[in-house]
Amino acid sequence: MSLAFTIPTIETERLRLRAPVLADFEHWAAFFETERSAFEGGPLPRRAAWRVWASDVSIWALRGYGPFGVEDRATGAYLGEVGIYEGDSFPEPELGWFVLPEAEGKGYAAEAARAVMDWAHESFGWTRLVNIISPENTRSIALGQRLGGVIDPDAEGEDPGDVVIVHRLGACA
Amino acid sequence: MTSFTIPTIETQRLTLRAPKLEDFEQYAAFLSSDRAQYMHGPMSRKEAWRWFTNDTAHWPLMGFGGLMIEENGTLAGQVAITRGPTFPEPELGWFLLDGFTGRGIAAEAGFALRNWAYETAGLKTLVSYIHPENAASIALAKRLGAELDENAPRPEGETLEETLVYRHPAPDADGGMEAYA
């Protein structure tokens, strides 16, 4: 009668997407100490950073999907986190990404995001997945568009002013 | 893939089971009430979501966490073992929704989860961090056999004025379960 759930492992050309583990949090704590975390509500002290990160991880148990820790397949190094996010106030599930500063500029977020979109379509039959992005986060908005997403000015985000990018999933996307 | 399990624990009167999304409304309502004053509350819905999901995320990340307490299919509260990033050690905590106090429910749930933690999760000790004015929780901690540990470290940033540390009996010393077997 216990609750059992699984988190899959997905491999791409360069990456392994796998269940988040406790050790990942140190990277998030460090991220939330910096100004770069402004788009995610930071900077935040460690206890608050934990609540944000743990909140996202919990979605696996509560909804059956969630964020993946992303590793370099060759070295095992933690590169960031990409996956499905859906907090209490979200209008719908969201495709999100976070890459460590030292791992940026190599296309990792895009590679992982494509794998997550394929997985979401195959696993749940979803044909739509959005990004919900702060308007100042031009880098993420550019990535969303590079992935083939289209800004929908009428779609609802989490906070007023959020940019919502819509991705069509599936073979005919 | 990685597999995770959140246990269901049955006691004499209760079922302790994994949190579900549907529990959140009552959880948030409790944390927004004055009864949450000793749990860093009352707090907003957004903050309550962080707490609720934190208790749930503990399971895949640490192998222990929060379980909702049900009595005859009705949500009665929550019992949880948590270890926040500023905690020196894991903590056993609890809260009961209105109408479920005064009947030993928190004690029954606390004994059961503590027993599970020692026997199944392999924990060797547990504490409860309690505000000095929270008489009800202090009484419950004592009823569970916990004793004030004046030398125990507190979560980072918390002072003696706001946090007492009650240490629960170690696994071999726990003779309390017989009362609820």
**Structure confidence by residue, pLDDT tens digits, A69-119:** 999 999 999 999 999 999 999 999 999 999 998 999 999 999 999 999 999
Decide if pLDDT at B28 tops 70.
yes
Q: What is the pLDDT of residue B160?
A: 86
Tell me which chain B residue has its CA closest to the CA of residue A17: B1
Q: What is the pLDDT of residue B181?
A: 45
Decide if pLDDT at B101 tops 90.
yes
Q: Name chain B contacts of A52, Cβ cutoff 8 Å.
A: 50
pLDDT, chain A, mean:
95
Q: Name chain A contacts of B62, Cβ cutoff 8 Å.
A: 22
Confidence band (pLDDT; 50, 70, 90) for B96?
Answer: very high
Q: Give the alpha-carbon dihedral of B20, B25, B30, B34, to 10 degrees.
A: 160
The pTM assigned to this predicted structure is 0.93
Confidence band (pLDDT; 50, 70, 90) for B157?
Answer: confident
Decide if pLDDT at B179 tops 60.
no
Q: What is the DSSP letter of B12?
A: S
B26 vs A: CB within 8 A: no
- The lowest-confidence range among B9-18, B44-53, B56-65, B165-174 is B165-174
Q: What is the pLDDT of residue A171?
A: 65
Q: What is the pLDDT of residue B15?
A: 98
- Of A112, A99, A100, A122, the C-alpha closest to A147 is A112
Q: What is the pLDDT of residue B173?
A: 65
**Cα(B10)–Cα(A139) distance, integer angstroms:** 50
E strand or H helix at B33, and its extent?
Answer: none
Q: Name chain A contacts of B50, Cβ cutoff 8 Å.
A: 51-52, 54-55
**Cα(B141)–Cα(B94) distance, integer angstroms:** 10
**Cα(B39)–Cα(B95) distance, integer angstroms:** 9
Decide if pLDDT at B82 tops 60.
yes
**Cα(B155)–Cα(B150) distance, integer angstroms:** 14
Whether the CB-CB separation of A77 and A69 falls below 8 Å is answered with no
